[in-house]
């Protein structure tokens, strides 16, 4: 075997990688050190032996006709794919850790300011809001003061707004938790769920800040949960009424409702509706990871856990001010569909208990 310049470079690189792994072993994670050592060992073996030729021959990439180059390209693509999957996994893990830290900080601030007492034994109304200063005031002004004799308390999750949304919320008596950066409606609700559940709320209601969900219909959703009839009351515009949307959106809703119904094993008519009421003590049992497309994830997760739910007819109207901040139709459809697939792959689904 001829020790060519390329082989010498490979040997030097392999030794350098081993040295780096040993030098940085106290900083790097054990898994990263092992990967570096394994990569260096593979580089040394390839550079000092004919192992690569043997591997290419085993994979039927014979000499001549550019087959060896093709074989090297295939091997490189496979290795890059494995490294990319690992990178995505690490990125997801880091993202979840960061989210947990931010939610923990939000809880500490919430607790130190004495807000938990305000939500104890109440119907907590969680409203995610991003630049909704024009609409939010009217939504809050129309909130019922109590439901079935139980007082209500509003929590506005300000998702990095820049238009005075937080100020409007405080002017109308709502508790405000402000997130410094825009994280998405799903992330806001996840934090809001934790804050209200740990505060001892009896029922948590979620609705949008843009006025599309009618606050006057909160008793329709919260009532059955307070009375112990169901664990979750989910609003349905299909059973109720809604303004006419774009044809593509309407078609997409029909398709996604069918998909969720099949995966859940339970008929659902409005999986993209975020207007719902939940028994607060079950929220810690549910796992939510979607930052944006959270509505289908909620249904699939709750049904998988076996909690009872009922669809309640509600009214959806056009937003009070401004334009919808939802992505374009194609992007929204891909994102929503991806969220359904990820939720299903993550945990699977078992049949829930519709009531």
pLDDT, tens digit (0-9, with 9 covering 90-100), for 304-317: 888 998 999 999 99
Q: Which spans in 173-246 are helix H?
A: 185-198, 218-226
Helices 51-58 and 30-48: crossing angle, nearest 10°? 90
Return residue ranges of the chain for CATH 3.90.550.10.
Answer: 113-354
pLDDT value, residue 355: 52
pLDDT value, residue 24: 85
Q: Is the dihedral of CA 62, 65, 70, 72 positive or negative?
A: positive
Reply yes or no on whether the pLDDT at 31 is more than 70. Answer: yes
Least confident of 126-140, 209-223, 290-304: 290-304
**Nearest of 154, 127, 182, 160 to residue 292 by alpha carbon:** 182
pLDDT value, residue 350: 47
pLDDT, tens digit (0-9, with 9 covering 90-100), for 113-153: 889 999 999 999 999 999 999 999 999 999 999 999 999 99
Residue indicated by tokens 């405080």 = 170
Specify whether domain 113-354 bears CATH 3.30.110.30.
no
Reply yes or no on whether the pLDDT at 352 is more than 50. Answer: no
Reply yes or no on whether the pLDDT at 112 is more than 50. Answer: yes
Which structure tokens are listed for 235?
A: 């609003």
CA–CA dist 44, 21 (Å, integer): 15
Helices 185-198 and 67-112: crossing angle, nearest 10°? 40
- What pTM did the predictor assign? 0.73
CA–CA dist 49, 20 (Å, integer): 23
DSSP 27-66: TS-HHHHHHHHHHHHHHHHHHHSSHHHHHHHHTT--SSTT
Contact 285, 332 (CB under 8 A): no
Most confident of 46-55, 174-183, 330-339: 174-183
| Cα dihedral 123, 314, 250, 182 in deg (nearest 10) | -20
Helix (H, G, I), strand (E, B) or coil at 144: coil
Residues 6+ apart with CB under 8 A from 340: 256, 259, 260, 263, 296, 297, 300
Which structure tokens are listed for 68?
A: 């060896």
What is the average pLDDT value for the chain, to the nearest integer?
A: 86
pLDDT value, residue 167: 94
CA–CA dist 204, 201 (Å, integer): 7
Least confident of 2-11, 310-319, 322-331, 332-341: 322-331
Residues in the chain, total: 355
Which structure tokens are listed for 321?
A: 């001010």
Contact 67, 41 (CB under 8 A): no
pLDDT value, residue 307: 92
Residue indicated by tokens 């409203």 = 127
Reply yes or no on whether the pLDDT at 349 is more than 50. Answer: no
Which structure tokens are listed for 163?
A: 């238009």
Reply yes or no on whether the pLDDT at 29 is more than 70. Answer: yes
Most confident of 58-62, 95-99, 273-277, 332-336: 273-277
């Amino acid at each position: 075997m001829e020790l060519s310049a390329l082989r010498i470079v490979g040997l030097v690189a392999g030794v350098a990688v081993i040295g780096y792994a040993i030098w940085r072993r106290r900083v790097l994670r054990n898994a990263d050190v092992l990967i570096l050592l394994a990569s260096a060992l593979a580089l040394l073996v390839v550079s000092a032996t004919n192992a690569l030729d043997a591997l290419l021959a085993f994979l039927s990439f014979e000499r001549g006709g550019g087959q060896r180059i093709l074989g090297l390209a295939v091997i490189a693509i496979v290795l890059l794919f494995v490294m990319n999957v690992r990178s995505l996994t690490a990125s997801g893990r880091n993202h979840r850790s960061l989210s947990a830290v931010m939610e923990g900080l939000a809880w500490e601030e919430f607790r130190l300011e004495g807000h938990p007492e305000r939500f104890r034994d109440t119907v907590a109304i969680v409203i995610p809001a991003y630049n909704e200063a024009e609409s939010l005031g009217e939504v809050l002004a129309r909130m019922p003061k109590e439901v079935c004799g139980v007082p209500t308390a509003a929590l506005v999750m300000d998702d990095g707004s820049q238009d005075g949304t937080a100020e409007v919320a405080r002017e109308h008596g709502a508790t405000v938790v402000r997130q410094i950066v825009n994280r998405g409606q799903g992330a806001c609700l996840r934090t809001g769920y934790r804050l209200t559940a740990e505060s001892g709320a009896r029922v948590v209601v979620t609705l949008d800040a843009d006025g599309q969900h009618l606050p006057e219909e909160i008793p329709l959703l919260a009532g059955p949960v307070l009375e112990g009839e169901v664990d979750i009351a989910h609003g349905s515009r299909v059973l109720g009424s809604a303004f006419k949307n774009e044809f593509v959106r309407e078609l997409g809703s029909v398709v996604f409702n069918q998909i969720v119904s099949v995966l859940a094993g339970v008929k659902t008519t409005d999986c993209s509706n975020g207007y719902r009421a939940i028994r607060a003590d079950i929220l810690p049992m549910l796992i939510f990871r979607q930052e944006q497309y959270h509505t289908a994830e909620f249904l699939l997760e709750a049904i998988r856990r076996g909690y009872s739910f009922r669809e309640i007819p509600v009214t959806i109207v056009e937003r009070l001010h401004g334009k919808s901040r939802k992505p374009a139709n194609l992007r929204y459809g891909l994102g929503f569909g991806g969220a359904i697939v990820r939720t299903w792959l993550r945990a699977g689904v078992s049949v829930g208990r519709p009531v």
